[in-house]
Amino acid sequence: MNEQIKRNLLRNDIIGKVLFSSEDIQKKVIELGNKITEDYIGKDLLLISVLRGGIIFLTDLIRHIDLEICLDIMSISTYGIGESSTGVVRITKDLEEPIEGMDVLIVEDIIDTGLTISYLMRTLKARYPKSLEICTLLDRNVRRITDIKIKYVGFNIGENYIVGYGLDYKQKFRNLNAIHELKIDTVKKDIESIKNSSIF
């Protein structure tokens, strides 16, 4: 069996049905861009995204915001066990500029437990922005364990394990245009192997 066929078979074991098509996502991105444009007219809007997943959404979103925006990127490391983040976060690349007096909008691909965004909110609030709000493409509030207020939400999702449009499976498939479910058998196998690993 040649290498490409093997890869395709493997891919079929991982990527399941489309949850949000490329068209669904692009429609939502335009809607959010228009709303943000209306809300921030006359303000000094700075969009901040977090590597890695958030940047796909960010780069699409900014092209539908009809304002003179500024842009900055942060990189953070979260310490989690398997699928769960612990809320222990470390900045590995900080913002390039101060944010004091700016209207700041954090752009995320997904907010899950809310631990990462809570850390970011605390960190950025301490730098005196004029305002600080959140825009996320996906909101999985069934797993939320922090109290956060999200100004802009693209789609609400349930417990589904997902991949594509910035979201990865073992660092791959971020470049898919649609958001797909992960095949449940693959997820179960992963969870089993985490449980059996030396961490426990």
Contacts with ligand PRP by CB under 6 A lie at 50, 52-54, 78, 85, 108-117, 168
Q: Which is nearer to ligand PRP, 79 or 128 (CB)?
A: 79
Q: Active-site residue among 112, 139, 147, 168?
A: 112
112 is an active site residue? yes
Question: Which contacts (CB < 8 Å, 24+ apart) does range 136-140 have?
Answer: 136/107, 136/108, 136/109, 136/110, 136/111, 137/25, 137/28, 137/29, 137/57, 137/108, 137/109, 137/110, 137/165, 137/166, 138/109, 138/110, 138/111, 138/162, 138/179, 139/110, 139/111, 140/110, 140/111, 140/112
Q: Which is nearer to ligand PRP, 42 or 158 (CB)?
A: 158
**Residue 188 beta carbon to ligand PRP: minimum distance, rounded to whole angstroms:** 19
**Residue 122 beta carbon to ligand PRP: minimum distance, rounded to whole angstroms:** 13
**Residue 108 beta carbon to ligand PRP: minimum distance, rounded to whole angstroms:** 5
Q: What residues act catalytically? A: 112
